[in-house]
Amino acid sequence: MFPGGEVEPVAGPPAAPAATAVFAAVLTEGPVSRVALARRLGLSSAAVTKAARPLIDRGYLHELAATERTGPGAGRPASPLAVRADREFFLGVKITADELIGVVCDLRAQVRATARRPLTDPGVEAVLTEVNRLADDLLDGFAGDRTRVRRLGLALSGDIDRTTGLVRYSPFLHWRDVSLGRLAAQRTGFTVTVENDVKALTAAEHWFGEGVGAESFALVTVGTGIGCGLVVNGRLVSGSYGVAGEIGHLAVDATGPDCHCGGRGCVESIAGTDAIVAQARDRTGRPDLTIDEAVALARGGHEQVRAVFTRAGSAIGCGIAAVANLVGPTRIVVSGEGLAAYDLFDSHIRASFERQAFGAAARCPLSIRPLPFEEWARGAAAVSIQSLVLP
């Protein structure tokens, strides 16, 4: 009991379906009036009023000040609901083979601080220790209220069970069946979520980026590997066997090279960074060529190296068209480290996509843009935000 006799205030947002829906809608679709929410969610406006009150009381939402209200026309002006971004903060950490990248985000997924730590030992213990240190670094560099940081999202590539926080398999860390969620929660004291990195990035883009409002949405990442996160009917696609969005191993060229996966003519075996380097070395006869040098040569007009990028762009375009033809997303974002060479890919990806997209699928807008590496960590934080909002 508290001095006044009240019950201790509940920590999280209310879990009722309507409250959850209202919270998520305000979070992703900016300030909205209660009537608009009611229409959007298929609820009565009374239900929205009731669902919103505890969210306001607990500090997650607030009404826009009168001056910020919109609205021409007659009638009582709306009092749109908006998110109180500094109600709670979230740590997001992307784990790569040799580095941890971390961010602190607010409730609107705005990055408030960043930090990095090198990773030398891929052992579970060592990684946990470094994650813990990175969390400290992040809090040190964070200007806001540290007591409001209660959640940590982790993202890494591999086969991950988000609901249990289990890393079933991580190729680059050589982990199998590591309960990363539980271990990290013990070590750091935070509420921890774990998700595959591409899916985390997709979730971030779906809630806070270009995917907002889309019933279905795809994000394609281009780099060493070529991956894809899918949202269909408003939900992230997981794959019954832990495999989904493996756009990198679609076969697009029956006469293409053998791929390390055992297939032939996979997108990744043509357009993955390693494949591009290998082809560029072959065409130039320089066995030590790096990807940066290949990019430089192509930009400099080296026809044969340009052709490598052209072919890669076409393969990626075919893969993206496959996504459009099969699941028909509302829009597709193409991104990733590989897109440092954005200018060399862009037009070929588009041309190939437009050729292979069937009928109206070609109407699907394509955003092709590079993404800073911190975005991956932001993805991890976004998953953590979702875990707060959704019960």
Partner DNA sequence: GGCGAATATTTAACTTCTTCAAGTATTGAT
Partner DNA sequence: ATCAATACTTGAAGAAGTTAAATATTCGCC
Binding residues (CB under 7 A) for DNA: these are 14-19, 33-36, 42-47, 49-52, 66, 71, 73-80
Q: Does 166 bind a second copy (CB under 8 A)?
A: no
Using CA atoms, how far apart are residues 148 and 325, in angstroms rounded to an integer?
Answer: 44
Strand 217-222, strand 331-335: pairing: parallel
Helix (H/G/I), strand (E/B), else coil: 183 = helix
Residue 322 interacts with which of a second copy, DNA, none, CB < 5 to 8 Å by class? a second copy
Using CA atoms, how far apart are residues 207 and 228, in angstroms rounded to an integer?
Answer: 16
Residue 42 interacts with which of a second copy, DNA, none, CB < 5 to 8 Å by class? DNA
Burial readout 210-231 (b: 16 or more C-beta within 10 A, e: otherwise):
bbeebebbbbbbbbbbbbbbbb
Helix (H/G/I), strand (E/B), else coil: 359 = helix
Which residue from 250, 382, 388, 389 is in contact with a second copy, where contact means CB under 8 A?
Answer: 250
Range 289-296 contact pairs with CB under 8 angstroms and sequence separation of 24 or more: 295/340, 295/341, 295/344
Residue 240 interacts with which of a second copy, DNA, none, CB < 5 to 8 Å by class? a second copy
Cα dihedral 159/328/269/175 (nearest 10): 0
Q: Is the dihedral of CA 249, 375, 101, 386 positive or negative?
A: negative
Residue 33 interacts with which of a second copy, DNA, none, CB < 5 to 8 Å by class? DNA
Using CA atoms, how far apart are residues 115 and 122, in angstroms rounded to an integer?
Answer: 19
Q: At closest approach, how far in Å is the CB of 322 from a second copy? A: 5
Q: Does 356 bind a second copy (CB under 8 A)?
A: yes
**45-64 residues near a second copy, rule: CB under 8 A:** none
Exposure on the CB side of residue 50, measured as CA atoms within 13 A = 8
Tokens at 276, concatenated? 């591009």
Q: At closest approach, how far in Å is the CB of 34 from DNA? A: 3
Residue 324 interacts with which of a second copy, DNA, none, CB < 5 to 8 Å by class? a second copy
Q: Does 262 bind a second copy (CB under 8 A)?
A: yes
Q: Does 115 bind a second copy (CB under 8 A)?
A: no
Q: Does 361 bind a second copy (CB under 8 A)?
A: yes
Q: Does 316 bind a second copy (CB under 8 A)?
A: no
Which residue from 129, 179, 330, 367 is in contact with a second copy, where contact means CB under 8 A?
Answer: 330
Q: At closest approach, how far in Å is the CB of 390 from DNA? A: 14
Q: At closest approach, how far in Å is the CB of 7 from DNA? A: 13
Residues within the interface to a second copy (CB under 8 A): 159, 214-216, 228, 230, 232-233, 235, 237-256, 261-266, 314-315, 318, 321-330, 355-356, 358-361, 363-364
